[in-house]
Chain A
Amino acid sequence: MTAPMIEIDGLGISFGKGARRLNAVRDVSLSIAEGEAFGLVGESGSGKSTVLNAVAGLIGDYSGTIRIGGAVVSLSRSHAQRRLIQMVFQDPYGSLHPRHTVDKILSEPARIHGLTNVEKRVERALADVGLKPEHRFRFPHQLSGGQRQRVAIARAIVLEPRVLLLDEPTSALDVSVQAEVLNLLRRLRRERGFTTIMVSHNLAVVSYMCGRLAVMNRGRILETLASADLAAGRFDHAYTRQLFRASSGYDRELLQDLWEEA
């Protein structure tokens, strides 16, 4: 077995102070192998996105350690460390600068890192995500939601990272467009061997995209299991069961349990 690509040990993150202190993430430990597709599942407030932001290097104020490729990382990272890991955000409307053309959005990362061949890289990234050269000089408002999300994915892969973080990448899209984006992400992972962490509230999407997943609730990981086990209903935790049943559609019986618990 190879050394883990991402190792999170005893991660704790809290916001605010005193009485208003909120422990968003408590004692989360994970180990994700190189090339693995890992999912984080939970409802809003479970801390799943916060974990992702900490791994990405957007949150620096945490306890515990995060290792990427064997090296401990923090908020301030070298260019080389930044290149290693990139992220796709949930909202394709908010994640692209409204006054930048697709060309500018895609060439920025290469310019920041002082890479050569900016033109070639932009062309290649566009082709990789299935966009045509004619999309290159458009502004985001001239693109559909699915095309925008493709641009966001292209921006993440321009730097040729080894880890791709996906924060609910399809939850703002229509189902038919979701299928296209999920297919694209799977193809990219196959071709380039990315390690991915995907955060989602949608069990079906996560289990389709990831081999293994962790269920989070109130800042903690309740259990970590293989997607196949989830699909077959082999899990230990009552909360996982609740999520599982809720994702299977409208179900009056389950509601009875939920009310009693609430």
Chain B
Amino acid sequence: MTARDWLLTDTPGSRRQASFGHWYRNWLAFRGNPLAMVGFAIVLALILIAVLAPVLPLQSPTLQSLSTRLQPPGAGHWFGTDELGRDILSRVAWGARITLTIVIMVVVIVVPIGLLIGTISGYIGGAVDVVLMRVTDIFLAFPRLILALAFVAAIKPGLESAIIAIALTSWPPYARIARAETITVRNADFVKAARLQGASPFRIIWHYVVPLCTASVIVRMTLDMAGIILTAAGLGFLGLGAQPPTPEWGAMISTGRDYLLDQWWVATIPGIAIFVVSLGFNLLGDGLRDVLDPKRS
């Protein structure tokens, strides 16, 4: 029996095999979508570069060399150098770490909060629902970048503040999605059966409702990544995100702007990095939606 047969069997012999088989089927469906695979490859590359940046044969991203400043892309510096003679390739690679940190941190904060508020609101309903959803509305009413700006301006600019600011403005849609999904399953027979068995509301939410919300939330999350990256870059551009000399992509564009006409690569290369990674996450999200969306027949 090949591994494929073991995974695709309709008669799995253990819990592990059943769940592996489930994921393998999803993977097969996902693999059939070429654009999604492109997105997946980009995201995988981002992760690899971010993880491997310290061991790659790169210059230090902060090593200044005023004698070789503003070099065009060439053999010595594939992506050229910036106004302080730092290697842009190295800075972009190290910048991937920052971008990935921001994205992961935001997701780690936002998804649990969104899921928690959304499922509780949807499952319990009544006054709890009204209160939680009005709070959500308040956060939803602020333009994202402006709230983040105000928040960062109020505390000190920096990477942590940027993460908190972005998280603060991005959880409401997750709460909304989780609530909508919860309401559709709240009165399902399998939830009634769980109530009959004496399952606590917490158990019902965690074991029955959350697994059905995660698909939508994951899809939304990957589609949101581009927005998060852009907001982070925006904050960096305005000098409110990561502080120099940290090689943050947005901040790199901001400094490169002064040389845009004569030394285009200083601003353009990190711009392309932002574009490619955002696109990658969007393609991945679209592909995941096709595979995971519970509403597909």
Contacts and interface: CB of A to CB of B under 8 A. Distances in A.
Contact of B189 (A89, A104, A108, A138): A89
A139 B198 contact: no
B12 A159 contact: no
Interface in B34-73: none
A187 interface: no
B208 A97 contact: yes
Contacts of B12: 137-138
Report the contact-size class of chain B (Cβ under 8 Å from the partner): 20 to 34
A95 B190 CA distance: 4
Contact of A95 (B13, B189, B195, B198): B189
A142 B25 CA distance: 13
Interface centre among A97, A103, A155 (most CB of B within 10 A): A97
B15 A89 contact: no
A87 interface: yes
B18 A101 contact: yes
Contact of A94 (B189, B195, B203, B211): B189
A160 interface: no
A38 B22 CA distance: 42
24 contacts: A57-B195, A58-B192, A58-B195, A77-B198, A82-B197, A86-B196, A86-B197, A87-B192, A91-B189, A94-B188, A95-B188, A95-B193, A97-B208, A97-B211, A98-B212, A101-B15, A101-B18, A104-B15, A108-B194, A108-B197, A112-B197, A112-B199, A134-B13, A138-B12
Given A82-B196, A152-B193, 11 more contacts: A58-B192, A58-B195, A83-B198, A87-B192, A89-B192, A95-B192, A101-B19, A112-B197, A137-B12, A137-B14, A138-B18
Interface of A: 56-58, 77, 79, 82-83, 85-87, 89-91, 94-101, 103-104, 108-109, 112-113, 134-135, 137-139, 142, 152, 155, 159
